[in-house]
Amino acid sequence: MNCWTRLQTESEKQTLALYTNWLNTARPKQIPPKENYHIWLILAGRGWGKTRTGAQDIAFYALTHPNSICAVIAPTHGDLKKVCFGGNSGLRSIIPDECYEVSRGRKAYSENTAEIRLSNGSKILGFPAIEPDRLRGPQFHRAWCDELAAWRYPEAFDQLMFGLRLGDNPQCIITTTPKPTPLIRGLIDRDDVIVTSGSTFENEANLAPSALAMLKDKYEGTTLGRQELYAEVIDNMEGALWKAKLLEETRLQKIDKNNLTQIIVAIDPAVTVGEDSDETGIMVVGKDINNEFYVLEDLSGRYSADKWGKIAINAFYNWNADRIVAEVNNGGDLVERLLRNIDDNVSYRSVHATRGKMVRAEPIAALYEQRRVHHIGYFPEVESQMCTYTGDRPKPSPDRLDALVWGITELSKSKGQVNWRIS
């Protein structure tokens, strides 16, 4: 007798018994709201249990609704496979083996496409948010959006909503660490959205005491801690040079790069490499004949030196850029040497910080206030840094913002808008 045969013939109580352990161990906030809702938005800190909550919701729905189609959307392909479907809290760790459709003697799961087929005819389909067009056409009964605030293309959410139309009550669960993106702010204000908030420390029973102590020591009282641990949607931080409303008002969705007169790849390299190290900021920026400035791409991340060097050089050629600019206060000649070892033909200029981050950023913020800087699309990570940086010493450093400032400074300095010492 397979799993679904059992579920069809047993009572609802026995059906729920598959999840007895979850229901007995889950905190009240992890259980779906009793109120009717279209979207359940969970804004919670790191380690709160967001992934487990989303996976349990989708798995339970698919198992108890034969022939249903469920969607799982994560920021990237890797997030889908390693977090939402794999990992200790993912779908594959939750769904009992006997509930899978068996194909050629194996459980019906495709790692390449992130797809699970169940013996009751239900399907759980994975989609990366970096490919919004893949959500054009499919229809769904239920959806799970993971880390929505980090989606590179918010239009992926719109495409999902167009397809969430099957059944009597199609619903969506969103699990994310909050950031002050237009999409998150808009969802909070909607009447058909139930919002659940929670801090990292609500799940302390399942987190290592040493890790919790480190987090409190390093981030307690900081802006980043308020966002990442206590799940505050920090918007228009007092003292910050940028406001989310201004970024939204000046945002463009696309630009013809042939209209740009200059393109810069700006780098703020990390000193060390590791899980706790700062990111390497890599921003692509450009300007046009009217001295309007454009943020084109954010390639930042936690990379080895060799990797960020290759990423920057690839961006240089992909965008047909005029120059790579890199801050060398911490790396000196090593930065140029690294880039030259990869490709000796790139145009390169080093820049040195002779003033503090806040002072360097102020002239660039002024260009934004003049509505002369436009973001082409959405850049959640750097925009969060822009709207929350107040000049204190954040941990980690706002390296994406630093790279953006260096890039626009380089574009503007020759026309007299901004002048810094460049070497």
With respect to residue 238, please indicate whether it lies within any of the assigned structural domains: no
Position 61 pLDDT exceeds 80: yes
With respect to residue 210, please indicate whether it lies within any of the assigned structural domains: yes
Domain boundary among 228, 259, 293: 228
> Domain with 152 in it: what CATH number?
3.40.50.300
Indicate whether 248 and 218 sit together in one domain: no
Domain boundary among 194, 228, 262: 228
Indicate whether 249 and 363 sit together in one domain: yes
Indicate whether 151 and 271 sit together in one domain: no
- What's the pLDDT score for residue 54? 96
- What's the pLDDT score for residue 202? 87
Q: How confident is the model at residue 106 (pLDDT cuts 50, 70, 90)?
A: low
- What's the pLDDT score for residue 416? 39
> Domain with 248 in it: what CATH number?
3.30.420.280
- What's the pLDDT score for residue 421? 32
Indicate whether 267 and 172 sit together in one domain: no
Indicate whether 285 and 337 sit together in one domain: yes
Digit-coded pLDDT (tens) for 142-191 = 999 999 988 988 899 999 999 999 999 999 999 999 887 878 888 988 88
Mean pLDDT over residues 77-98, rounded? 89
Question: Higher pLDDT residue, 366 or 356?
Answer: 366
Position 6 pLDDT exceeds 80: no
Mean pLDDT over residues 395-415, rounded? 84
- What's the pLDDT score for residue 9? 39
Mean pLDDT over residues 288-310, rounded? 93
Indicate whether 297 and 204 sit together in one domain: no
Indicate whether 146 and 177 sit together in one domain: yes
- What's the pLDDT score for residue 423? 33
With respect to residue 400, please indicate whether it lies within any of the assigned structural domains: yes
Q: How confident is the model at residue 1 (pLDDT cuts 50, 70, 90)?
A: very low
With respect to residue 419, please indicate whether it lies within any of the assigned structural domains: no
- What's the pLDDT score for residue 274? 57
With respect to residue 235, please indicate whether it lies within any of the assigned structural domains: no
- What's the pLDDT score for residue 220? 74
Q: How confident is the model at residue 50 (pLDDT cuts 50, 70, 90)?
A: very high
Count of CB atoms situated within 10 Å of the CB of 346: 18
Domain boundary among 203, 228, 253: 228
- Contact in structure between 269 and 330 (CB atoms under 8 Å): yes
* Percent of the chain's residues with pLDDT above 90: 44
Indicate whether 250 and 212 sit together in one domain: no
Three-state SS across the chain? CCHHHHHHHCCHHHHHHHHHHHHHHCCHHHCCCCCCCCEEEEEECCCCCHHHHHHHHHHHHHHHCCCCEEEEEECCHHHHHHHHHCCCCCHHHHCCHHHECEECCEECEECCCCEEEECCCCEEEEEECCCHHHHCCCCECEEEEECHHHCCCCHHHHHHHHHECCCCCCEEEEEECCCCCHHHHHHHCCCCEEEEEECHHHHHHHCCHHHHHHHHHHHCCCHHHHHHCCCCCCCCCCCCCCCHHHHHHCCECCCCHHHEEEEEEEEECCCCCCCCCCCEEEEEEEEECCCCEEEEEECCECCCHHHHHHHHHHHHHHCCCCEEEEECCCCCHHHHHHHHHHCCCCCEEEECCCCCHHHHHHHHHHHHHCCCEEEECCCHHHHHHHHHCCCCCCCCCCHHHHHHHHHHHHHHHCCCCCCCCEC
Indicate whether 181 and 297 sit together in one domain: no
- The Cα 233–Cα 227 span in angstroms is 6
Indicate whether 188 and 303 sit together in one domain: no
With respect to residue 423, please indicate whether it lies within any of the assigned structural domains: no
Indicate whether 117 and 249 sit together in one domain: no
Q: How confident is the model at residue 35 (pLDDT cuts 50, 70, 90)?
A: confident
Q: How many domains does the chain have?
A: 2
Domain boundaries, position 313:
244-413
With respect to residue 102, please indicate whether it lies within any of the assigned structural domains: yes
- What's the pLDDT score for residue 354? 66
With respect to residue 239, please indicate whether it lies within any of the assigned structural domains: no
- The Cα 205–Cα 211 span in angstroms is 12
pTM of the model: 0.64
Indicate whether 304 and 208 sit together in one domain: no
- What's the pLDDT score for residue 36? 86
